[in-house]
Chains A and B, each alone.
Chain A
Amino acid sequence: MNAGSEFKDTALWLRNLILSGCTDPISGTRASNEKFVMTSWPQREVRFPYVTVEVTGMSADKMGMASESALMSLPFEVNVWSQSTAQRDSLAAQIIYLLRNNRLNTASGAVSQGLFDWRINNAFNLDEEGKRGVHRKVIEGEYKFISM
């Protein structure tokens, strides 16, 4: 990951990690122009389930009074959208397991991107009402990154 493109690189890395490690329950019927994991709020029609990943903010502190390096905190949000609570919970658990187990691998884990000190701050349900209401799990986490 490069300093100056932290948001984009982190979001893309998270997206690729979830795509490669998470089973798409409808992969057999998903069309080629449909996405299972997205890095933005979908503007077009989508088929459930799907996952959105966003880096939602940033805070940075200088590494020293005479240093141009900064210790950054990159909070992210993973949303699992489904029409079934069981499917929502299963996908969310897979994602948290993936994030937890891909921290220290120096070839492909978070440290290979310069991301460390992973934490999940909150995970909660946000379900829309009604028979056709969408079930959603919001997973809020963060990584630290040293920008040099």
Chain B
Amino acid sequence: MAKNNMSFTIKGIESVNKYLDLQNNEFTMKAKKGINNATLFMLGEVKQSIAGRRAEPASVDTGRFLNSVNSEVDALVGKVFTNLNYALFLEYGSTKLKARKHFNNSLRRNKNKVQNIISSAIKKKTV
């Protein structure tokens, strides 16, 4: 009995892969931009909270804590941070001081805004 062999060729795989790579790069670039914008936004929010312009009490005396808050974006991770050792006590309180939660509350208040900033950047059409 004769065997029936079938073969097929897919054309255009290289150009599809090139297109997908382009899309991936564009997506990553937009996401980075979105995360950068969101991080800067959160930096502003935390500083506003420390300055007493949000629900938390102000934590400003010499301005050292306020000026120590900084931000950093590394790949797809944005951070808002301070290196001061007493910042943890301001955030979580101590036996002598009630918690002020500048970072935690700022994040909770603005979770949706941060998501919107990032998704808007991703959805933005490039010319």
Contact = CB atoms under 8 A, between A and B. Distances in A.
Interface of A: 41, 56-57, 59, 81, 126, 128, 134, 136, 138
Chief secondary structure at chain B's binding surface: helix
Interface in B36-91: 88-89
Interface of B: 88-89, 92-95, 98, 101, 104-105, 108, 111
Given A126-B88, A126-B89, A41 B108 contact: no
B92 A126 contact: yes
Q: Which A-B residue pairs are the 4 nearest by beta carbons? A: A134-B95, A57-B108, A126-B92, A126-B88
A138 B92 contact: yes
A81 B93 CA distance: 12
Contacts of B89: 126, 128
Contacts of A136: 94
A20 B103 CA distance: 33
A128 B96 CA distance: 10
A141 to B, nearest CB: 14
A136 B98 CA distance: 14
